[in-house]
Structure 1
Amino acid sequence: MPLSSRSTVRRRTLSTAGATAVLALALSACGSSAGDHSVPGMDHGVTTAGSSPSNPTPSTAGGMEGMPGMNADDGLAAEKNGYRLEAEPAALPADRPTPFRFTVVGPDGKPVTDFAVEQTKTMHFYAVRSDLTGYQHLHPTMAADGTWTADLAALQPGSWRLYASFTPAGGPGKGSDLVLSRTVTVPGQAVDTPLPAASGSATADGYTVTIQGDPMAGMAHPLTATITRDGRPVTDLQPYLGTYAHISAFHEGDQAFAHLHPETRAAGGDHGGPALTFHAELSRPGNWRTFIQFQTAGQLHTAAVTLHVS
C-alpha cells in the first residue's frame, strides 16, 4: 500500500478510537446515580401520564436515567424489584382516625412476612397530603398472614400519598432498602396550604431547629441540624429510633421521598445534641419539605423546615 494511503487509514483509525472513548465517557456520566439510601419516618402532588391512585408511576423530569431527578429511588412507585405494595381502599374517610391495611407482595407472588429491623422497626410508614401538610410517621403492626395495619390520625380532604419503607430479611431482595407508595383520596373540599418559603429553620414546641448545608441534587452531601431552646443549645435529646433525630423529606410538586441518614447512632441516655449530622441524597432540585423528629423528656417533637436544593 502506498505511504499516503497508509497514513490516511491510520488517521481514520485514530479518529474512530477517539470518538469511541468520548462516547464511553458520556455514557458513563449519564449512568451515574444518586444511590439508594431510603431507610425508614404535608400536598403538592403531580400525577404523571398513565398513573392512577392504585398504580402510580414515578415522576421524572426528562433526560437520561441516573441523572438528578431521573429514575431515582424516590418512593413514587407501587412496585419495584418484584416487590409490590397492595391495598384495597382507594379512598379513606375524612376528619377521623382510620386504620389502613396493606401487604407487601414479593417476587413469588406471596405476602412477605420476614422483614429486617431498620432503625429499631421492621416497617416505617409515612402519610403526607399533596401540599406536603398532615405529615405522619407511623410504625404499623403485622398479622401472621403479612397484613400490616397503620393507624392513621384524622386526614383532611385531598389527595394523600402513603409510603411503606422496609427491608426484606430473605428472598431475592434480602438486605435491600425499599420504599413503595400508593395514593388515596380523602373526600371533601380540599384547601391547599402554600409551602412555606425555604428558610433553613423552624420551631416546634418551643424548640428551634436549624439545618445547615448546601445540598445539590443527585449528590451525597452532609447536613447538620442544630437544636436550641430560648437561644440555648439543647443537650438532653433522648434516643429515638436508635439515633437522636429522624429526618424524612418530600419534594414539592411530585412528593418524591428521601430519608436522611444520621451519621452517628445514639449512645444511650438523654445526652444528645445540640448538633446532629446527617447524610443527605436528595434526587431532585427545588424545594423539599423536611421533617425533623426528636425526643426530650419522653415527648416526641416534629419540626418542618423547607430546604432548597440546587
Structure 2
Amino acid sequence: MFASTRSTVRRRALAAAGTAAALALTLAACGSSDDSAMPGMRHGNTPTATSGSAMSGMPGMDHASDGNGLADAQDGYRLTSSDSTLAAGRQTTYRFAVTGPDGRPVTGFALDQTKRMHFYAIRSDLTGFQHIHPTMASNGTWTAGLSSLASGRWRMFASFTPDSGSGRGRDFVLSRTVTVPGPADRTRLPAAADSTAVDGYTVTVAGKPMAGMAQPLTVRITKDGKPVTDLQPYLDTYAHLTAFHEGDAAFAHLHPTTKVDGDHGGPDLSFHAELPTAGNWRLFLQFQTGGKLHTAALTLRVG
C-alpha cells in the first residue's frame, strides 16, 4: 500500500514538473518574438483569433488588436480592400468591403448616430484627420471619398454594427493601412493642452482620464469669451469626439451623454471617456453651428 502511494505521488510530481517546463518554454517563445518591424503592432496586444501570421507581410494588413481598431479582422468579420496605395495631393476614393464569418460581403448594417458606416482616415503622425460617411453598393462595396492626402502612411478605419448574423448589435472597428507615395515629412504632435481654437471658437476640455478607467469628460465651447449656446445637432448629438493614440494610432470613440434639445446646445458637453492606454491621445471634436461643421483638435495626456 505504501509503495503504491509513493508511486502515485512520484507520478504526480513528474506530471507537474512536465507541465511547468512546457509552460516555461511557451512563455520563453512568446517573450522572444519580435514584432517591432510589423506596422500597426503594439507589444502586449492580444492577436485576433481570425488573424494569421502567414498574411502579416501583405500590404495594408494588421493582425493584432485589443479592441483598439488596429486589426483588419475580429470574430469572423474582416475589412477587405484592394487599395494599398492612394494618390497624393488630390481628391481620391478608397473602396472596401466588410465580410462576415461566412466569407460573404455584409450588406446589412444598423444605424449608429444616424449612419450605417463611419469611416476615418488618419496619417501615422495623427494629422490629416477625415471623418466620412461612405456609400455602399448593392454588392456590399463601400466607397469613401477622401480629400487631398499628404504623402506618408495612413490608416483607414471602418466603424460599424451588423444588424444580423453572429455580430448583430455589436460595435466593430476594423482598419487597414495604405501608403501615399512621395516624400513624407513627419509632423510633431502638439503638446498636451486643455484648450484649442478653431474658426473663432475656443474649445476647452476638463477632466483627467486614467488609462483603462471609465471617467467623465466635459467640453466647453466659447466664442469671444462668451458661452456658445447655438450648437446644432450633428449625428444625433451636439458634438462627435474621436481619439487616436500617439505612436500606433489606436482608435477610441468617446460617447456623448448630453441630451439633444433643438438648435441651442452648449456651452458644456459631457462625454463618457474610456481610453485604454496611457500616453498622448489626439482628440478631434466635431460640432456644428449655422449649418457649418467645425473640427477642433487637441492633445490630451492620459495617465
Q: Distance in 1 between matches of 2:66 and 2:195?
A: 27
SS in 1 for 2:276: coil
Task: Identify the residue that residue 283 of structure 2 maps to in structure 1.
Answer: 290
CA RMSD of aligned residues (A): 1.3
Deviation at 1:295, TM superposition (A): 0.1
Q: Distance in 1 between matches of 2:145 and 2:158?
A: 13
Q: Distance in 1 between matches of 2:273 and 2:297?
A: 16
Letter in 2 for 1:266: V
Paired residues in the alignment total 253
1:202 to 191, 196, 219: 196
Kindly provide the CA deviation profile for residues 139-165 of structure 1, in whole angstroms up to 9, marking residues without a partner as x.
000000000000000100000000000
1:241 to 191, 211, 235: 235
Deviation at 1:55, TM superposition (A): 1.4
> Are 1:134 and 2:128 counterparts?
yes
Task: Identify the residue that residue 56 of structure 1 maps to in structure 2.
Answer: 62
- Kept in 2, the 8 Å contact 1:163–1:180? The answer is yes
- Kept in 2, the 8 Å contact 1:242–1:265? The answer is no
Kindly provide the CA deviation profile for residues 46-97 of structure 1, in whole angstroms up to 9, marking residues without a partner as x.
5339645321133xxxxxxxxxxxx531000000010000000110000010
Q: Spell out the pairing of 1:125-274 with structure 2 (5 A cutoff).
A: 125-267=119-261, 269-274=262-267
Provide the TM-score with structure 1 as the length reference: 0.80
> Are 1:277 and 2:283 counterparts?
no
- Kept in 2, the 8 Å contact 1:72–1:283? The answer is no
Provide the TM-score with structure 2 as the length reference: 0.81
Q: Which has the higher contact order (CA 8 A, sep 6+)?
A: 1
SS in 2 for 1:292: strand
Q: Distance in 2 between matches of 1:75 and 1:239?
A: 27
Q: Distance in 2 between matches of 1:130 and 1:302?
A: 19
Letter in 2 for 1:157: S
Q: Distance in 1 between matches of 2:202 and 2:134?
A: 29
Q: Which runs of 4+ in 1 moved over 4 A?
A: 49-52
Task: Identify the residue that residue 4 of structure 1 maps to in structure 2.
Answer: none
Consecutive unaligned residues of structure 2, counting only runs of 5 or more, are 1-37, 43-52
- Kept in 2, the 8 Å contact 1:46–1:253? The answer is no
Task: Identify the residue that residue 81 of structure 2 maps to in structure 1.
Answer: 87
Task: Identify the residue that residue 100 of structure 1 maps to in structure 2.
Answer: 94
Q: Spell out the pairing of 1:2-81 with structure 2 (5 A cutoff).
A: 47-48=40-41, 51-52=56-57, 53-58=59-64, 72-81=66-75
